[in-house]
Amino acid sequence: MVDKMDLTESLEDYLEIILKLQNENRVARSKDIAENMGIQRGSVTSMLKNLSEKELINYEPYGYITLTDQGKKVALEITRRHAILKDFLARVVQIDPDKANMMACRMEHNIDRESIDKLVRFVEFIDRCPRTGQDWIDSFVRFCASDPKDWQTCMNCLESCEIRHNLNKQD
Amino acid sequence: MVDKMDLTESLEDYLEIILKLQNENRVARSKDIAENMGIQRGSVTSMLKNLSEKELINYEPYGYITLTDQGKKVALEITRRHAILKDFLARVVQIDPDKANMMACRMEHNIDRESIDKLVRFVEFIDRCPRTGQDWIDSFVRFCASDPKDWQTCMNCLESCEIRHNLNKQD
DNA sequence: AAACAAAGTTTGATAGACCAAACTTTATGA
DNA sequence: TCATAAAGTTTGGTCTATCAAACTTTGTTT
């Protein structure tokens, strides 16, 4: 009921998935939740009761499931964190998209407001600062692609960057 | 016994702390483990038996505790991941050191080899690429410090960066 | 060496999250 | 409309990680 409820990771996952299903199909159904989480149907029911007691979902036995306003608020917050983390891990750090997604799944429950805000600013800074931006990320991709034993590609990039850098110092 | 044992987060935490205590005092003791994890002494005993069965620690009732070779290998790996993650979160992303530490504690269990390697390369790239490096991180710190309503500091930085950037294009 | 404290262990219990299997309700279709 | 399938629920059980409290072993002090 209060804003600062402390939900378990699992309960937050349920809310996230219910939001997704609700957006896709207007309502969520027990079976789809089970499928999305890769668990048995029976396990879902007790969690639904739990979420219902916390007034995070509207739930009647054998009925459809929707988020309450409060539940939607929490679900949106988790979903936002997930998207930010995944974008950062996959697009910036260049971690494999599926792995980035899995990591985001875990991290989204363990990052506080202040830290996620810092991360948002970090990504924003990389994207907007003229010293970095997409072409800098592209350089990083090349840096990663280069065989560790063959540093030539990387060295070429570093050199051309250094030339630029020195030019800047001279002006 | 096998290399690719799948340990729970909790068991990995125990190994990490035992390594730390072992480095400090040559051996680990039940009481210190309990204190470090903020749990009761009684809870530690059963976990020690568990780790002992998996041949990750040397353990006899009422005796001192040390890591086996295999246990040490795992503990070192977790500790390495922790250090990498913490450095990245605190020094690069500028997340509050205590929070960075807490986040690293959770993430260290959910990041695979390939992804941590990517992260290492990312940090290495930021540190070594002439376009980024410490002064770029310093710019980010100023970017963070500036009052969101007052974008002047940030704009100043962006402008001077853009001037450099344009100079580079001209050459 | 006896007494006491500290460290370690055991026991029984709890909470969260899950499963398998039996069962009930709702929906479908012939 | 009635049988059957699909969806949802209930029940009883498991596993991990924890606690509190009683208990045992080890260590320390006098």
Strand D nucleotides in reach of protein CB atoms, 7 A cut-off? 7-12, 16-22, 25-26
Q: What angle separates helix B69-87 from helix B97-107, to the nearest 10 degrees?
A: 140
**Mean pLDDT confidence for A2-21:** 89
What gap in Å lies between CA A128 and CA A95, rounded to an integer? 21
Sort A167 into a burial class: Cβ within 10 Å, 0-12 / 13-18 / 19+: middle
Q: State both tokens at A72.
A: 């939607």
Strand C nucleotides in reach of protein CB atoms, 7 A cut-off? 7-12, 16-22, 25-26
Residues of A (102-161) placing their beta carbon closer than 7 angstroms to any atom of strand C are: none
Q: Which residue's CA lies closest to nucleotide D10 at its C1' atom?
A: A42
Residue B133 pLDDT: 86
H or E element that contains B57:
strand B57-58
What gap in Å lies between CA A62 and CA B20, rounded to an integer? 52
Q: Which amino acid is at A116?
A: I
Does residue B3 carry a pLDDT above 60?
no
Least confident of A8-12, A23-27, A149-153, B137-141: A149-153
Is A102–B111 a contact, with Cβ atoms under 8 angstroms apart?
Answer: no
Residue A3 pLDDT: 47
pLDDT of A34-90, one tens digit each?
999 999 999 999 999 999 999 999 999 999 999 999 999 999 999 999 999 999 999
pLDDT of A29-44, one tens digit each?
999 999 999 999 999 9
The distance between the two most distant Cα atoms of chain B, rounded to a whole number of Å, is 74
pLDDT of A106-144, one tens digit each?
999 999 999 999 999 999 999 988 788 888 899 899 888
Query: Would you say A109 and A78 are in contact if contact means Cβ atoms under 8 Å apart?
Result: yes
A11 touches strand C (CB under 7 A): yes
Interface of B with A (CB under 8 A): 89, 92-96, 99-100, 102-103, 106-107, 110-112, 114-115, 118-119, 121-122, 125, 128-132, 136, 139-140, 143-144, 157-158, 161-162, 164-165, 167-168, 171
Q: Is A145 left (phi over 0), alpha (psi -120 to 50) or beta?
A: alpha
Q: Tell which residue, A18, A50, A13, has the closest CA to residue A31.
A: A18
- Measure CA of the first residue to CA of the last residue in chain B; give whole Å: 61
What gap in Å lies between CA A12 and CA A78, rounded to an integer? 7
Half-sphere exposure of B119 (CA within 13 A, CB side): 26
